[in-house]
Chains A and B, each alone.
Chain A
């Protein structure tokens, strides 16, 4: 029986190690100040659990590219400016601001009586420390754009500051909305901790972050704007759609975002849950390489747009959600102007193809990533264009490989890309980034995302002028003209604008999603 005793010993060791799991978890925090991990079911009226679809990457507001991370940052940190529910610019820590006519000088009058979570005062000096951090710290690669154009930051008074740019930069005002203020004490003494546990002026302050499992914040009593909200919020990354929905149904989460399309009906019918939809700034399209045959002929591009049924696209690919893309930018973007859409007309499409010299159609490739929604979309396009004799071969590639293939082409002649099924999104207030990287001739890959290789001198001039002035009426004029010109040139198959869908338990109020897909819980309450 000797070996049996040894086996039993091994089994007991295994059990012991497995049981250590419980002890380990109570000390599992790697970044928080506290060591408690009560992140379980929020049964009290003062707690909220929010399940999102992806992990958070960083809590540094000066170096973040993903919406999930910035949603959480926005509960704890505020900028001089911010965004309202429609994604338009509003004043937050700035009481007032002005931009010089040449769009080079930005002057801000700051709010008084605002304190950071660590007791530091918010004032012009604090703002200067923040701006200089973004300008000078080379590791902040994601937000140096714009701030790298600053030539001078001048303190005009305790609560007044002036920022001068070397050259005009249209999106700068959005940058001031996105760049949140961090405590100057933290920047000077403890900047390595900023990505893990930031200190800001927001209504919530950081509690703890267990990577991959949860992030907890709690109400900040000294918040300058007062107001009532839930006392504690725990965010959990739950990538599996079914699991997220299960959490909402079981009450393990009170908010989930996004709600997968196939579960919308089921959740809408449940009395404990509400499902809300918001138009986003995410535009879906197929870019058409206008530099090479056969897509260099506008008739071919127009034929494609007549052949693809945009309503069917929304029904089939987007589960009935979303709105048709009826300009070169989504409707929530500032200065948007609706254009006359291409109606679904197969005969007209065939006619145009024949006029262009392709009465029997031709073969062409469409590229996209391996996401199941992208596959669905590409198959839809393949089927639609098949009706006019165009045989589309689908080439789906993993994201990194796809990026290499597209941005590896150093010149338009090198480009093998013909059609790319893709989406683009920019802040609703940032029309520059919704247009220039896609339609300006300086933005050909590898320098930008103008994968249609669209080159129109007039369009370039309109964008250049709009980016160099601050007069909003003139900007509106220029951008409206730009939309008309580009839409008529048809460098894309214009598809749709996503609606973002989030689910909330019926006893929760004050939770919003803005058009960029950011979750706003500043006024969240649980009854």
Chain B
């Protein structure tokens, strides 16, 4: 397994290089002139050209790319065109909150999703199943911003239990993670249910029952474990998405995460921030995929990682 992990880590490098080239080209060729956006609406052409020169945007594209990659190798992500602050400083303050929010949201969403999915599957077509699936459909259907505002109105304004927003300790994570987790919990619940239903039809389950295994052992040790492959895949993908930040939840809760940082930098064509953020998201996704692949072997030892 370690050889496999090492190999996948090395394979990351050419993928990231290709992504860096594609994102660099993409953001430089979309319409919008960062020099003018930074200089402001009452700038004269001379002002705009001064800004362009000051920001190094008048250099040939290839030179700009090589400068960026040279700096990247030394861990230098450049300076934001809008704030003038080092990009790495901006990431440090935004990335950790996003990471914690992701973990918390995924934790309760996965737990609740599994519980609801399993209970629905083993009580198919009875009221726990209906209740579980109505919850799941609601979770996916309710728009995030609406749920967030509703939670703020109830738990912050009326009951005063949680802050209305910002980042002020652990309590600031509760409402945003509930909002973010709702849709994910629903997806995991549905995947778990359908996967469990399929597995529960298998011969080995019938055999286990016939052998006299306790029911909870049949469900948890055997059925659930074999159903988790598809659930882990979905959860992994969701985890990757969440790490990129969630603009809607961050806006509603004024949460200083990566999502809003990226949206704001796109509006201002803040090239260094956009480039580094996209590269970071790509790296996170590749890493998450690797972890999911390794998890498969934990769940089903028959699955072999080809080395």
Contact = CB atoms under 8 A, between A and B. Distances in A.
A356 interface: no
A400 B32 contact: yes
A37 to B, nearest CB: 7
Interface of A: 1, 3-4, 6, 11, 14-15, 17-22, 24-26, 28, 30, 37, 39-41, 51, 55, 57-58, 60, 63, 65, 138-139, 141-142, 144-145, 195-196, 210-214, 236-240, 242-243, 246-247, 249-250, 252, 398-401, 403-405, 407, 424, 426, 433, 437, 443, 446-449
A448 B33 CA distance: 15
Interface stretch (B15-23, B133-141, B191-199, B250-258): B250-258
Given A14-B103, A25-B169, A213-B256, A141 B38 contact: yes
A449 B42 contact: yes
A210 B94 CA distance: 10
Nearest to B149: A242
Given A15-B107, A21-B170, A37-B168, A63 B299 contact: no
Contacts of B85: 195-196, 211
16 contacts: A18-B173, A30-B93, A57-B82, A57-B83, A141-B39, A210-B167, A210-B256, A211-B256, A213-B166, A236-B165, A239-B254, A242-B149, A243-B152, A246-B153, A399-B32, A424-B41
B166 A214 contact: yes
Given A214-B166, A240-B254, 19 more contacts: A3-B298, A39-B168, A55-B264, A139-B84, A212-B261, A238-B254, A239-B251, A239-B254, A242-B152, A243-B152, A243-B253, A400-B31, A400-B32, A400-B269, A401-B31, A404-B33, A424-B41, A433-B42, A447-B44
Q: Chain B interface residue count: which class?
A: 35 or more
Contacts of B44: 443, 447-448
A92 to B, nearest CB: 24
A403 B252 contact: no
B106 A14 contact: yes
A509 to B, nearest CB: 24
Contact of A252 (B97, B156, B221): B156
Closest 3 CB pairs of A and B: A400-B32, A212-B256, A21-B100
A236 B298 contact: no
Interface stretch (B45-53, B67-75, B123-131): B45-53
Contact of B170 (A19, A40, A63, A247): A19
B234 interface: no
Contacts of B50: 138, 141, 144
A40 B163 contact: yes
A149 B206 CA distance: 89
B36 interface: yes
B37 A58 contact: no
B90 interface: yes
B251 A25 contact: no
A212 B94 contact: yes
A437 B45 CA distance: 12
B93 A210 contact: yes
Contact of A17 (B34, B92, B103): B103
Contact of A243 (B99, B165, B168): B165
- Chain B interface helix/strand/loop/mixed: helix
A400 B267 contact: yes
Contacts of A141: 38-39, 47, 50-51, 54
B190 interface: no
Interface string B231-261: 0000000000000000000011110110011
Contacts of B149: 240, 242-243, 246
A60 B83 CA distance: 10
A269 to B, nearest CB: 16
Contacts of A448: 42, 44
Interface of B: 30-34, 36-42, 44-45, 47-48, 50-51, 54, 82-85, 89-90, 92-94, 96-97, 99-101, 103-104, 106-107, 111, 145, 149, 152-153, 156-157, 160, 163-170, 172-173, 220-221, 225, 251-254, 256-257, 260-261, 264, 267-269, 298-299
Contacts of B107: 11, 14-15, 18
Nearest to B299: A3
A139 B36 CA distance: 15
Given A18-B100, A211-B256, A403-B32, A142 B40 contact: yes
Most chain A beta carbons < 10 A, residue from B104, B145, B166, B267: B166
Nearest to A63: B84
Listed residue (A240, A401, A407) with the most chain B CB atoms within 10 angstroms of its CB: A240
Contact of B83 (A22, A58, A142, A144): A58
B51, B83, B268 interface centre (most CB from chain A within 10 Å): B83
A38 to B, nearest CB: 9
Contacts of A236: 165-166, 254
Contact of B152 (A30, A41, A138, A246): A246
Nearest to B48: A446
Contacts of B33: 400, 403-404, 407
Contacts of B252: 240, 242-243
A401 B256 contact: no
Contacts of B36: 403, 407
Nearest to A142: B40
Given A57-B82, A246-B152, A437 B42 contact: yes
B85 to A, nearest CB: 7
Given A243-B254, A400-B33, A24 B166 contact: no
Contact of A399 (B89, B160, B165, B267): B267
A238 B254 CA distance: 5
A139 B54 contact: yes
B52 to A, nearest CB: 10
B173 A21 contact: yes
A403 B48 CA distance: 12
A399 B31 CA distance: 10
A343 to B, nearest CB: 31
A1 B192 CA distance: 19
Contacts of B299: 3
A290 B30 CA distance: 30
Contacts of A237: 254
